[in-house]
Amino acid sequence: MDKLDAKIPQGPLAEKWTNYKAHQNLVNPANKRKLDIIVVGTGLAGASAAASFGELGFNVKAFGIHDSPRRAHSIAAQGGINAAKNYPNDGDSVYRLFYDTIKGGDYRAREANVYRLAEVSNAIIDQCVAQGVPFAREYGGLLDNRSFGGAQVSRTFYARGQTGQQLLLGAYSALSKEIAKGSVEMITRSEMLDLVVVDGRARGIITRDLVSGKIERHAAHAVVLATGGYGNVFFLSTNAMTSNGSAAWKAYKKGAFFGNPSFTQIHPTCIPVHGDFQSKLTLMSESLRNDGRIWVPKSKEDAEKIQKGTLNPTELPEEKRDYYLERRYPAFGNLVPRDVASRAAKERCDAGFGVGSTGLAVYLDFEDAIKRLGKHVIEARYGNLFQMYEKIVDENPYETPMMIYPAVHYTMGGIWVDYELQSTIPGLFVAGEANFSDHGANRLGASALMQGLSDGYFVLPYTVQNYLADQISVAHVGTESPEFDEAEKSAKATIDKLLAVKGTDTVDTYHRRLGMIMWNLVGMGRTGEKLKKAIVEIQELRASFWKNVKIPGKNEMVNMELEKALRMTDYLELGELMARDGLLREESCGGHFREEHQTPEGEALRDDENFSFVAAWEYTGENKEPKLNKEALHFEFVEVKQRNYK
């Protein structure tokens, strides 16, 4: 258990972070110049961290797989970012944001981390406004707020339906400023292939230049991973095509524990799957649930007619519609948390009440809102989303209700980190979606942007400095060491091995097959039996991949098939760990729903006595069972109870 000391500072909840900062070690300005930090990933968490380190005076090397940091997938976040400003005077506070987040995560997150997140949330908004982020404003010139799921206050700041874009561009501009100044070196089109650990500390990375194929070594005093989530293990998800879990997985195989890998968020409002050629799914922002009402027909006969196209949903009278969220959860209605909304949609569709040609869709209807507010108001609020929907589905959502269905969106699981966001490998810090830290078993809407920027602007600049304080005697870390030799050799060997297979099936065919296994067996409704089956099927698929995959070309070129194959090797291992983690957790909590464990009303049934812990998995070697470590969760400041949104 030694390795799993979360290092939570002493004292009352509201004073922990203040106490930490008051007593942490600092590095003086002259010494900062002697210390190198590697930041992998330049989305919200990575760009904000790299910029902040640069401002402090550290030497920073930042890496991104895109041609520019502005393309990181944070850019696609639509709805907004939470903060406890309480501008609308509707009863919000730091404590309430903390409480909603802990409850929303179904009591599977660490209190101290979540409180700190809520505590720094207000500074994030101040920071972004100072950078020139054009948040939505009211006519009086002050900032506007809207509501998101799992909260009864309006605390979400937004920039049309493009909040992630604007926040990322803010962080990107801060990063650009530091690159111009020379404090940050930006390496683009570069992918991390391995982590280098020297004498038990993270000291560097091995990368592949995605244009030339060149394998490179980079060393530093500390390494920060801000490489996002691994939702693409499901093949179809709302993640961008190149979002991947490889950096985190490589860190895991070098000794960083992986926390709660099975905790996956299935987002309720995505455009339904419509063909086997499909490459990804598109999210329709949760903010739409502010004004849209979710329903399916009350009778199966009507549902069948709609599926066959013989009944138009707009013709179905009010009394024949089942607004099932409003019916089941009158207190929160259409604004229940994502896991609850997704499960309720699945339940209705599985029972035969779904709509659309596949029966795997429910309606998100704006008819009432348009009547109440006028089309122009709805257009101002959600215009770009409606346009996006129409382009994809070829139907006008102002006239016909939108069809939505749950899809994989976010992974709450990730590399286990302590209060300082440091992994079990000293000197390896993990931020943003890549860590497991703040969202427990379910993330609330508008909290991912908050966490990414909290980690990058306001947490890592303190905690990494605390770590580096005793590293000032270490001269610049070199790349000439047996550990670097070994890591580079092993990365090259993997590439050679992949290229030598010369089989018959493309990487994508394997990815689709893995996605089917994950969605059907490790998806929204899990059972012990399904999870066991998934483990076997993934192992078989992995063996087949290494015998049969076909990758054209060579390493020394732009080779996207090779890039995909390298990521795929990790998905094929990570998927198995996700299934193992789901199998271990004999309870339902948040997005992890074990069908064996539910209340008579079909709600998630937690088992706090036996499962109030973080499952932190430890790698033990190739094809060996990973070792389970547990971090017990202690709730001192909230009362743990069954989540109730009724």
Partner 1 sequence: MKIWRQPSADEKGKFVDYQVQDISADASFLEMLDVLNEHLVVKDEDPVAFDHDCREGICGACSLYINGRPHGPDKGITTCQMHMRRFKDGETIVIEPWRAKPFPVIKDLMVDRTAFDEIIRAGGYISVGTGGMPDANAIPIPKRDADIAMDAASCIGCGACVAACKNASAMLFVAAKVSQFAMLPQGKVEARERVQSMVSKMDELGFGNCSNTYACEAECPKEISVSHIARMNREFFGSKLISEKEK
In the complex, the smallest distance separating the C-beta of residue 608 from partner 1, rounded to whole angstroms, is 38
Q: Is residue 187 within 8 Å of residue 3, measured between CB atoms? A: no
Q: Is residue 159 within 8 Å of residue 135, measured between CB atoms? A: yes
In the complex, the smallest distance separating the C-beta of residue 161 from partner 1, rounded to whole angstroms, is 9
Alpha-carbon gap, residue 626 to 561, rounded angstroms: 29
List alpha helices for 351-459, DSSP H: 367-373, 375-393, 448-453
> Which residue number, 543 or 560, has a Cβ lying nearer to partner 1?
560
In the complex, the smallest distance separating the C-beta of residue 40 from partner 1, rounded to whole angstroms, is 17
71: annotated active-site residue:
no
> Which residue number, 508 or 607, has a Cβ lying nearer to partner 1?
508
Phi, psi dihedral angles at 303 (to 5 degrees): -60, -45
Tell me which long-range contacts 267-270 makes (C-beta under 8 A, separation of at least 24). Answer: 267/238, 267/338, 267/342, 267/406, 267/407, 267/408, 267/409, 267/410, 268/338, 268/341, 268/342, 268/345, 268/404, 268/406, 269/341, 269/364, 269/404, 270/238, 270/404, 270/405, 270/406, 270/407, 270/409
C-alpha distances (whole Å) from 76 to each of 230, 331, 385, 489 are 16, 30, 12, 36
Place of tokens 């995605």: 210
Alpha-carbon gap, residue 262 to 611, rounded angstroms: 14
> Which residue number, 19 or 504, has a Cβ lying nearer to partner 1?
504
Q: Is residue 138 within 8 Å of residue 144, measured between CB atoms? A: yes
In the complex, the smallest distance separating the C-beta of residue 121 from partner 1, rounded to whole angstroms, is 11
Bridge partners (DSSP) of residue 197 are: 202
Q: Is residue 469 within 8 Å of residue 27, measured between CB atoms? A: yes
Phi, psi dihedral angles at 486 (to 5 degrees): -65, -45
Phi, psi dihedral angles at 359 (to 5 degrees): 75, 5
In the complex, the smallest distance separating the C-beta of residue 231 from partner 1, rounded to whole angstroms, is 13
In the complex, the smallest distance separating the C-beta of residue 210 from partner 1, rounded to whole angstroms, is 10
Residue 480 has a CB neighbour count (10 Å cut-off) of 8
> Which residue number, 325 or 388, has a Cβ lying nearer to partner 1?
388
Of the candidates 82, 118, 85, the residue with the CA atom closest to the CA atom of residue 99: 118
Alpha-carbon gap, residue 88 to 98, rounded angstroms: 18
In the complex, the smallest distance separating the C-beta of residue 471 from partner 1, rounded to whole angstroms, is 22
> Which residue number, 172 or 617, has a Cβ lying nearer to partner 1?
172
Phi, psi dihedral angles at 171 (to 5 degrees): -65, -40
> Which residue number, 453 or 495, has a Cβ lying nearer to partner 1?
453
> Which residue number, 331 or 392, has a Cβ lying nearer to partner 1?
392
In the complex, the smallest distance separating the C-beta of residue 158 from partner 1, rounded to whole angstroms, is 11
Catalytic residue among 338, 443, 526, 567: 338
Alpha-carbon gap, residue 110 to 265, rounded angstroms: 18
Catalogue the active-site residues. Answer: 338
